[in-house]
Amino acid sequence: MKLAVVVQRHGQAINDGAEFHARHIAEHLAGHAEVEVLTTCATDYIMWRNELVAGVERISGLPVRRFPVREERDPHLFGRRSDRVFRQRHSLDDELNWLDAEGPTSPALIDHMFERLSKEPAPGPIDRLPGWFARQREDLPPADEVLAALPAGAALAGASEPPPRLAVSHPPGGA
């Protein structure tokens, strides 16, 4: 079984939040499946500056494929959009614009995922993708739930069918 762990930052020096958790999940799953980490070239979750080289390296025995972030975060724009979303009446479009301003966005990473899926389709259904992801691809319908797909997920949730084997996540704040 092949799995991709997709996370906004990855590396031994990144020891906080979702990235730390994703690293440990990837390392644990590597004993049960062929795991690759897909991530960005950013190390800083405030500005999302490309600081690492795009390409593949091995970390803790796992292949880590890095992709450039499209643009650094504009803190003033992000602040204005945060104020709108958290303090004012707002629309779904305002929330999606906030996600865009928050970053990171990596079209190359998204394109890579779709290219791989076209060559190696996931063995389970992929019927829900988070809105930010769907917004990057006009051929996908937007969805408000994040696809979660750990092998034990179906048993834990009491589902009658096994979950799909692709995980896509973008937690707000990056940490």
- Tally the domains of the chain: 1
Q: Is the residue at 99 inside a domain?
A: no
Rounded mean pLDDT, 88-107: 90
Least confident stretch, 16-20, 25-29, 58-62, 128-132: 128-132
Q: Is residue 175 part of a domain?
A: no
Residue type at position 92 = L
Q: Is 20 helix (H, G, I), strand (E, B) or coil?
A: helix
Residue 56 in domain:
yes
Residues 102-156: tens digit of each pLDDT: 999 999 998 898 888 778 766 554 444 444 444 444 443 333 333 333 333 333 3
Which one is predicted more confidently, 61 or 122? 61
Query: Could you tell me the residue range of the domain that residue 52 belongs to?
Result: 2-71+104-157
Comparing 10-24, 28-42, 85-99, 151-165, which segment has the lowest mean pLDDT? 151-165
58 CB neighbour count, 10 Å cutoff: 8
How many helices and strands, by DSSP H and E, does the chain display?
A: 6, 4
Which residue, 155, 151, 143, is CA-closest to 123? 151
pLDDT tops 80 at residue 45: yes
Phi, psi of 109 (to 5 degrees): -65, -45
- CB contact set of 141 (below 8 Å; sequence gap of 6+): 134
Predicted TM-score of the model (pTM): 0.70
